[in-house]
Structure 1
């Protein structure tokens, strides 16, 4: 793993560790944290469900397993800062982690539907959002506060949104949110709150720092240190994105036919329709073969065989989704003060000799 920070622990795998794998091994799954990883005793852990509900609930792990149907969803999670390093090449993004392409990964998540728990509690007609709270304390907020976030109730009631206790067939590891986390497929990873202890049904979005102030798209001229709650665009559904996973950036290869592989992810409930690859800065394109996804919320791997010339070569990839939308060409057009949502054309540079 490429460790960006030890405390809080933030790390991603090298891009080649993700190549060709429909599901990401747990030990190669990126880790994004905002404070120290909490140590929670599953035996005494409880989940509180309250707010605009007919009946408040307090549920143990055994209660969740006994009272609700267990379901499984294959879903890709992606940090809003994935590929931030490409934006930093355009202009510095002070105070933010220089994530590469590995802050994205796919797992089989098992647990219960959030919708089933909300139905049991009886969400009120005035409900508009569902907020999640966790015990990890972050000093990124001033003053420090525990982590939280929310999603609209329309998304919360979708069958793919889980309260997950299992990842790739094993108990959810502590660093990935055990004993219970939210999994919100198609949305930025920040909304899939880990170490979940409370669900609150609200009329408005969460007032937590990481919903109201952080994870918001600010205009280029904004000063993040002065941005207050509600400024900018709140990030939710993922933007169409793709990247090259093999060969690695800076690799030395032999000239001639070479297999280029990567992933593509449309976000929310869209699908990937096409991936193009170019060796001449986008002057011409070769259409890649796109594999079937493991589920409607999972990435799709793609591959193309290209004839690499002698010398320094830049390989470029771009994706199109089912609506006909394509990735933007330049990261310069996407730069923002927090370095979020870089979905510009993917690029790696190799030397062939």
Structure 2
């Protein structure tokens, strides 16, 4: 593509914050430390998790960069940044979460395949850009369309990014046309993050933000938008990011039997404490995040300091000082909530947290019942083992 290119090696990678936990150097995959993650409602760009499949693309000439809109439409069109900038600008506060978040804990049950994420492959940002529904209207696709006369039912996003899983081809994913053309779904072509121009790690110059679904569908470094009759046939839609039962292994897996994962389930994690936390007897503060997919709010976060025998409710908030009520119109519907609780600890125990969303979906107690060979969607109760001794704070 003119103006944007995908390097073949890692010699021109951007700089990153030295305090990130690096899970893979080439390609670069990293997450912040737990406590950094919940230090603010909006995640600073430098502490927003980095998920990559190859070398980071480079913009040579922003004025020459364009996105090709093609496929089952009458008039394919190249859209330049000046065209995108002319459209109404929206700001959407949305949490992105890698489907593999908390994979490391799942792998302790049985080995899984994938990047070893702890609990911080998630982040909340204010994304700025044009709504995809407005962009598609430029090429004649009406808002709230389910199917086009041409048979188009899906919108595929193709990156300039090249990855080994596609045999050197581009990363790609898709969403239904009904979601892409619905203004209320808040799907963006984003060019800003937290009030600043996107940086290279997060998709400069233009990326897709699909709120409420796993991060794998929010394609970065956008090259092409393809209107298609079927969902994307690429690796990351057809042969990855699908939820299989514990009985499936690499010898009996049949990828076509499962739908591609979209919405992420209800999730929470404690971020103020390590998995094994040493402390002296006394009060302990418990802080973390909770989120659910599909725009569902968080009804409550339950905390236990006796391994799950008894529970009490944590306080929860989005914007500091503003009461949070699940599914209230004033909330950021696509964003996480942070939670806090305090307890008196006199002996060794397990502290447990679990969230309940506005549809009364709850997290499963044990990771074993949701184990899957790709290690995705570990939404089991988050447990911290507290031991009495010298404090590790």
TM-score by length of 2: 0.85
Name 1:102's counterpart in structure 2: 120
Name 1:330's counterpart in structure 2: 366
From 240, 247, 264, give the equivalent of 2:290: 264
| Structure 1 vs Structure 2 CA RMSD | 1.6
**Cα distance between partner residues in 2 of 1:338 and 1:16:** 27
Name 1:115's counterpart in structure 2: 133
Are residue 155 (structure 1) and residue 155 (structure 2) matched? no
**Cα distance between partner residues in 1 of 2:42 and 2:318:** 13
Question: Once the 2 structures are TM-superposed, how far is the Cα of residue 231 of structure 1 from its aligned partner?
Answer: 3.8
Runs of 4 or more consecutive aligned structure 1 residues displaced over 3 Å after TM superposition? 221-229
From 136, 146, 159, give the equivalent of 2:161: 136
Question: Once the 2 structures are TM-superposed, how far is the Cα of residue 249 of structure 1 from its aligned partner?
Answer: 2.5
From 61, 69, 81, give the equivalent of 1:61: 81
Question: Once the 2 structures are TM-superposed, how far is the Cα of residue 228 of structure 1 from its aligned partner?
Answer: 6.0
Name 2:9's counterpart in structure 1: none
**Cα distance between partner residues in 2 of 1:308 and 1:291:** 24
Name 1:38's counterpart in structure 2: 57
TM-score by length of 1: 0.94
Secondary structure (helix, strand or coil) at the match of 1:246 reads: coil
Question: Once the 2 structures are TM-superposed, how far is the Cα of residue 44 of structure 1 from its aligned partner?
Answer: 2.2
CA contact (8 A) 2:245 2:370 kept: no
Number of matched pairs: 349
Question: Once the 2 structures are TM-superposed, how far is the Cα of residue 229 of structure 1 from its aligned partner?
Answer: 5.4
Are residue 52 (structure 1) and residue 72 (structure 2) matched? yes
CA contact (8 A) 1:216 1:231 kept: no
From 30, 38, 49, give the equivalent of 1:19: 38
**Cα distance between partner residues in 1 of 2:76 and 2:165:** 31
Alpha-carbon deviations, 1:178-228, whole Å to 9, x = none? 100000010000000000011111111011111111111233343448756
Flag structure 1 segments of 5+ consecutive residues without an equivalent: none
- Pair 65,248 (structure 1): closer, same or farther in 2 beyond 3 Å: same
From 306, 309, 328, give the equivalent of 2:346: 309
- Pair 230,44 (structure 1): closer, same or farther in 2 beyond 3 Å: farther
From 379, 383, 390, give the equivalent of 1:347: 383
